[in-house]
Chain A
Amino acid sequence: MVEARSLSARGGRILLYAILIAFAAFYLTPLIVVILNSFRSFQEITQTSVLGFPKEFRLDNWVQAWGSYCIAGICSGISPYMWNSLLIAVPATLISTLLGAMNGYLLSLWRFRGAGLIFGIITFGVFLPAQMKLVPWAITLRDLGLSNTLAGLVLIHVVQGMSFTTLFCRNYYVNVPQDLIKAAKVDGAGFLQIFWRIILPLSPPILIVTVIWQFTGIWNEFLYGITFSEGSARPVTAALMALSANIAQAREYGIESASVLIAALPTLLVYLFGGKYFVRGLTAGAVK
């Protein structure tokens, strides 16, 4: 009996891993294509096929992508643009996450009249198509004197991001027991103290999800990045676009693949290192 059970448990484990690995393969296939192409030359791709195994592993796509490919006469690859993107994405992600956590806390734990409506309106913001907001933002930035500045782009991403971060945080905080807040109030803690001492320590799992969403979204954003920036202050997506060329040319798939992989590294690092904040039982620890 006991043996049979552990056997089936073992079978279950094997099945579990089989499923997990099968899905990993599904997710990885396109990445493998990109990785393989990053080692193939333009000539090889043009003469055989866009899908294929490299004849030899050439590194020059990577070298060119990082530091010597020419964009508008500046032969520096994508590396300087990576820095620009960091200057936009890091502050915008952190500020919008913090403000969203604040909003979520305000709307979920300080229940006041109209909180539901305010939450509804802010959430509605996530649905506004980017195209629709382009011209209003151009006007807003002009009026604020922020046209073609990094600060302007950060502002856009913070304001737009708040809709998302508020949604995530509010819906996470509604699971926090109200008693916790009441007890703190009895202790004489104020609005900000409760947020800082009680709510934020409970938040790592949702904050990492929020950071992942914001950072990825801002890092990969193209439409605003290219419209509201200039010259050498362009984000990396603009440089990537330069590689994906237009109708008159065949795309440099090799260099483009290498660039895309390089450009994805910061986000992948966020995913990897963010992982340890997916810990169980934070609320449990706090209530006891």
Chain B
Amino acid sequence: MKTSLLRTTGLALLAACLTQAPAQAEPRLTVISQWSAGAEGAAMDAFGKMVTEKGVKWEHSPVSGFTTDMMNKLRADIIAGKPPAASQLKGPEIKAWSAIGATVNLNDVVKATDYEKNISADLAKIHKPKGDWIALPLQIYRVNTLFASKKAMDKVGATELPKTWDEFNALAAKMAAAGITPVAHGGIGWADAMYFELTLAGISADAYRKAIMELDDKALRGPEVLAAFKQLRQLTKWMSPSNAGQHWSVFLPALMKGDYGFLMMGGWASGVLKKGNFEEGKDFLCGPTPNNTGKPVFDMNADGMIFWDTKNADLLAGQKATAQVAMSKEFAKTFTQINGSIPVRTDIDLADAGFQDCQRDAAKNLAGAIQANQAIMSLGHNMAQTSPVTAALRDVLTEFVHNDKITPEEAQKRLADAADTVR
């Protein structure tokens, strides 16, 4: 490693002398992200280390807090004419933001590898909004993950996670009868929207694709969406009425104690449980959320990194090296082992002890769903639509979850109408 670093630096220096570039000719990367602390911060630091080993100076400036705070920083930097060389960005926002600032064309770097062949085509499309690669996905989380409290399962004599919504409903009814609140839920807007997407995706991934990802009016007013609202209403009846406005993790202690039965949450929750000294198999079970379609469904939340254009040769060199690292198998393993996500590449072996069963299950799930063409993009996590659309739909969904006077029929109408105003 050391020699290669020396060699790269030496080569860079030599190249700089030959082309008579400015004196400070060394590849570097300025990057902003939300990943500042905890497991995500650690994963980002590991990324930085791998990039540094390629001779690139890593200048990470995290903007923690809400995603909007990071976007504000990006906007201010774009206004000031000094965008960072790379920034965290995901989903359809990549397309929206690339319209206001010039980006780097990564086609040559990507095409030189087997990367594109080994990732989901839908995901690839998001990162080349106009045909050219301008961004790269870094990690994937399975949003449709079901966590069950082992204590609650034991109490009703269940050993396996429910596979379909009918099985789920039957088991939840048993739990309710045993005095357990079947569904744990924090009750913040995005999580409300997420519960809806999980029901619809589990009823028909096709309908989800048409209704939510393509905003198809017929699908939005179709029977699957209505069925999803009915199932969601059933779920809300199984939630504690006092679940509102809390971060989902607040109810983890009660879930592990068996006061709650299930939690539906992205795969990141397994990392939090692990950190809280809870064990998969002993304290909780983990698997995909109920699915009636018979084939694997994967509801995707994938974070990515966009590369902003610059005249600076050092930054350009840094961007290229960073992109190469981000596409590598080594990166895929290291990054996801630390933060509990799964690799973007589907050709990675997760047998290492560093991975959890929950991650292996999700990775297998992803490969199957891609094959069955049922890998879909999450609405609640801004993967399916641009922010204005997501927000308009979310307003309807969150009200439905917290107001049982709204009927599924009324909610379906409101959702389709909301889509009309933003389509």
- In the complex, what's the smallest C-beta–C-beta distance from A233 to chain B, in angstroms? 10
Task: Please tell me if the beta carbons of B275 and A42 are within 8 angstroms of each other in the complex.
Answer: yes
Task: Please tell me if the beta carbons of B37 and A242 are within 8 angstroms of each other in the complex.
Answer: yes
Q: How far is the CA of A186 from the CA of B61 in the complex (A)?
A: 60
Q: How far is the CA of A240 from the CA of B20 in the complex (A)?
A: 44
Confirm or deny: A49 has a beta carbon within 8 angstroms of a beta carbon on chain B: yes
A-B contact count (CB 8 A): 130
Confirm or deny: A134 has a beta carbon within 8 angstroms of a beta carbon on chain B: yes
Confirm or deny: A73 has a beta carbon within 8 angstroms of a beta carbon on chain B: yes
Task: Please tell me if the beta carbons of B79 and A250 are within 8 angstroms of each other in the complex.
Answer: no
Confirm or deny: A249 has a beta carbon within 8 angstroms of a beta carbon on chain B: yes
Contact flag A71-B252 (CB < 8 Å), given A227-B76, A243-B37: no
Task: Please tell me if the beta carbons of A43 and B277 are within 8 angstroms of each other in the complex.
Answer: yes
Contacts of B190 in A (CB 8 A): 247
Confirm or deny: B128 has a beta carbon within 8 angstroms of a beta carbon on chain A: no
Within 8 A of B (CB), among A225-258: 226-228, 230-231, 238, 241-252
Task: Please tell me if the beta carbons of B253 and A49 are within 8 angstroms of each other in the complex.
Answer: yes
Contact flag A244-B65 (CB < 8 Å), given A138-B75, A142-B79: yes
Confirm or deny: A70 has a beta carbon within 8 angstroms of a beta carbon on chain B: yes
Contacts of B216 in A (CB 8 A): none
A245-275 interface bits toward B, Cβ cutoff 8 Å, 1 = contact, 0 = none: 1111111100000000000000000000000
Contact flag A250-B65 (CB < 8 Å), given A148-B80, A227-B73, A243-B37: no
Confirm or deny: B92 has a beta carbon within 8 angstroms of a beta carbon on chain A: no
Contact flag A70-B37 (CB < 8 Å), given A246-B64, A249-B268: yes
Contact flag A249-B80 (CB < 8 Å), given A46-B253, A73-B45: no
Task: Please tell me if the beta carbons of A139 and B79 are within 8 angstroms of each other in the complex.
Answer: yes
Name the CB-closest residue of A to B301.
A248
Q: Kindly identify which residue among B75, B82, B278 contacts A147, using a CB–CB cutoff of 8 Å.
A: B82
Task: Please tell me if the beta carbons of A138 and B62 are within 8 angstroms of each other in the complex.
Answer: no
Contacts of A46 in B (CB 8 A): 249, 252-253, 272, 275-278
Task: Please tell me if the beta carbons of B38 and A252 are within 8 angstroms of each other in the complex.
Answer: yes
Confirm or deny: A222 has a beta carbon within 8 angstroms of a beta carbon on chain B: yes
Task: Please tell me if the beta carbons of B60 and A72 are within 8 angstroms of each other in the complex.
Answer: yes
Confirm or deny: A284 has a beta carbon within 8 angstroms of a beta carbon on chain B: no
Task: Please tell me if the beta carbons of A73 and B41 are within 8 angstroms of each other in the complex.
Answer: yes
B50-79 interface bits toward A, Cβ cutoff 8 Å, 1 = contact, 0 = none: 000000000111111111010011011101
Q: How far is the CA of A251 from the CA of B36 in the complex (A)?
A: 13
- In the complex, what's the smallest C-beta–C-beta distance from A141 to chain B, in angstroms? 7
Q: Kindly identify which residue among A70, A134, A249 contacts B72, using a CB–CB cutoff of 8 Å.
A: A134
Q: Kindly identify which residue among A47, A139, A226, A249 contacts B73, using a CB–CB cutoff of 8 Å.
A: A226
Confirm or deny: A135 has a beta carbon within 8 angstroms of a beta carbon on chain B: yes
User: Most chain-B CB neighbours within 10 Å: which of A49, A228, A230?
Assistant: A230
Task: Please tell me if the beta carbons of B37 and A138 are within 8 angstroms of each other in the complex.
Answer: no
Confirm or deny: B247 has a beta carbon within 8 angstroms of a beta carbon on chain A: yes
Q: How far is the CA of A230 from the CA of B61 in the complex (A)?
A: 7
Within 8 A of A (CB), among B248-282: 248-250, 252-253, 256, 266, 268, 271-272, 275-278
Contacts of A244 in B (CB 8 A): 64-65
Q: How far is the CA of A141 from the CA of B271 in the complex (A)?
A: 41
Contacts of B399 in A (CB 8 A): none
- In the complex, what's the smallest C-beta–C-beta distance from B394 to chain A, in angstroms? 14
Count chain B residues whose beta carbon lies closer than 8 angstroms to a beta carbon of A. Answer: 48
Q: How far is the CA of A28 from the CA of B81 in the complex (A)?
A: 47
Confirm or deny: A69 has a beta carbon within 8 angstroms of a beta carbon on chain B: yes
Contact flag A251-B41 (CB < 8 Å), given A43-B277, A49-B253: no
Q: How far is the CA of A223 from the CA of B72 in the complex (A)?
A: 9
Confirm or deny: B152 has a beta carbon within 8 angstroms of a beta carbon on chain A: no
Task: Please tell me if the beta carbons of B276 and A42 are within 8 angstroms of each other in the complex.
Answer: yes
Confirm or deny: B206 has a beta carbon within 8 angstroms of a beta carbon on chain A: no
Task: Please tell me if the beta carbons of B79 and A138 are within 8 angstroms of each other in the complex.
Answer: yes
Task: Please tell me if the beta carbons of A250 and B64 are within 8 angstroms of each other in the complex.
Answer: no
Q: How far is the CA of A185 from the CA of B73 in the complex (A)?
A: 52
Contacts of B75 in A (CB 8 A): 135, 138
Contacts of A48 in B (CB 8 A): 253
Task: Please tell me if the beta carbons of B79 and A135 are within 8 angstroms of each other in the complex.
Answer: yes
Confirm or deny: B229 has a beta carbon within 8 angstroms of a beta carbon on chain A: no
Confirm or deny: B34 has a beta carbon within 8 angstroms of a beta carbon on chain A: yes
Confirm or deny: A50 has a beta carbon within 8 angstroms of a beta carbon on chain B: yes
Q: How far is the CA of A79 from the CA of B138 in the complex (A)?
A: 32
- In the complex, what's the smallest C-beta–C-beta distance from B114 to chain A, in angstroms? 29
Task: Please tell me if the beta carbons of B80 and A241 are within 8 angstroms of each other in the complex.
Answer: no
- In the complex, what's the smallest C-beta–C-beta distance from A191 to chain B, in angstroms? 39
Name the CB-closest residue of A to B188.
A247
Confirm or deny: B395 has a beta carbon within 8 angstroms of a beta carbon on chain A: no
Task: Please tell me if the beta carbons of A250 and B45 are within 8 angstroms of each other in the complex.
Answer: no
Task: Please tell me if the beta carbons of A246 and B67 are within 8 angstroms of each other in the complex.
Answer: yes
Q: Kindly identify which residue among A134, A138, A249 contacts B38, using a CB–CB cutoff of 8 Å.
A: A249
Q: How far is the CA of A43 from the CA of B81 in the complex (A)?
A: 45
- In the complex, what's the smallest C-beta–C-beta distance from B116 to chain A, in angstroms? 27
Confirm or deny: B25 has a beta carbon within 8 angstroms of a beta carbon on chain A: no
Contacts of A141 in B (CB 8 A): 80
Name the CB-closest residue of A to B73.
A227
Q: Kindly identify which residue among A72, A138, A147 contacts B45, using a CB–CB cutoff of 8 Å.
A: A72
Q: How far is the CA of A247 from the CA of B190 in the complex (A)?
A: 10
Name the CB-closest residue of B to A145.
B80
Task: Please tell me if the beta carbons of A245 and B64 are within 8 angstroms of each other in the complex.
Answer: yes
Task: Please tell me if the beta carbons of B62 and A72 are within 8 angstroms of each other in the complex.
Answer: yes
Contact flag A245-B37 (CB < 8 Å), given A138-B76, A228-B76, A250-B249: yes
Query: Which 7 interchain pairs have the tightest Cβ spacing?
Result: A46-B276, A250-B249, A147-B80, A242-B36, A242-B64, A248-B268, A241-B65
Can you list 20 A-B pairs, Cβ within 8 angstroms, ordered by A? A46-B272, A47-B256, A49-B253, A70-B41, A71-B64, A72-B45, A72-B61, A138-B75, A147-B76, A226-B65, A227-B72, A227-B73, A243-B37, A245-B37, A247-B248, A248-B266, A248-B339, A249-B249, A249-B268, A250-B252
Besides A238-B64, A244-B64, A248-B271, 10 more A-B contacts (Cβ < 8 Å) are A43-B276, A69-B37, A70-B37, A134-B76, A227-B73, A238-B63, A242-B36, A246-B67, A249-B39, A250-B275
